[in-house]
Amino acid sequence: MSHRVHTAIDSPLGTLTMVAADGALAGLYMQRHRHQPPPETFGERDPAPFARVIEQLTEYFDGARTTFDLPLAEQGTPFQRVVWAALGDIPYGETVSYGQLAERIGRPTASRAVGLANGKNPVSIIVPCHRVVGAGGDLTGYGGGIERKRYLLDFERGRDCAPAGYDAAPARVG
């Protein structure tokens, strides 16, 4: 079993809880995040392993970072891991549909399975599952809630993005 620790920070999306397993980021969860593991599995509170994560999130929310470079320890099925890896190839500020993502991973008839795997992404924002939309461009489910998905997409597109529908915190991370 891995050594797990966690910490929490404020962000424009509200409180973000980060979980590390053996020093690598294993989870980044928002308040009331769907598919979040029970808090008792997060380990003790220890902010030490998260300095680089916090730095990169701060740069992201300041508009100075469009990609992340962090060691990850995502736990999932082989199929989920393929989907999560493909999410990292979606450019900042752009979206793809679940069907397009299924095609990108060589499974063109698996759009529903891609949607399920996308919804189980344990490392929100950093693994950009918010960039996947419905076939017609509609904002469909998001583990952190549709309002947060809308915020992230508007933010990445340089649009005015007033937080709404969740407990927002100050605009600075850290």
129 is catalytic: yes
Closest of 170, 67, 59, 75 to residue 123, by C-alpha:
75
Question: Choosing from 19, 127, 129, 173, which is the catalytic residue?
Answer: 129
Q: Which two tokens stand for residue 93?
A: 């500020």
Q: Which two tokens stand for residue 26?
A: 């294993």
End-to-end CA distance of the chain: 29
Closest of 117, 107, 116 to residue 76, by C-alpha:
117
Q: Which two tokens stand for residue 82?
A: 């393929």
Cα of 2 vs its chain's centroid, Å: 22
Beta strands 44-45 and 4-11 are: parallel
Query: Do the beta carbons of residue 167 and residue 36 sit within 8 Å?
Result: no
Q: Which residues belong to the active site?
A: 129
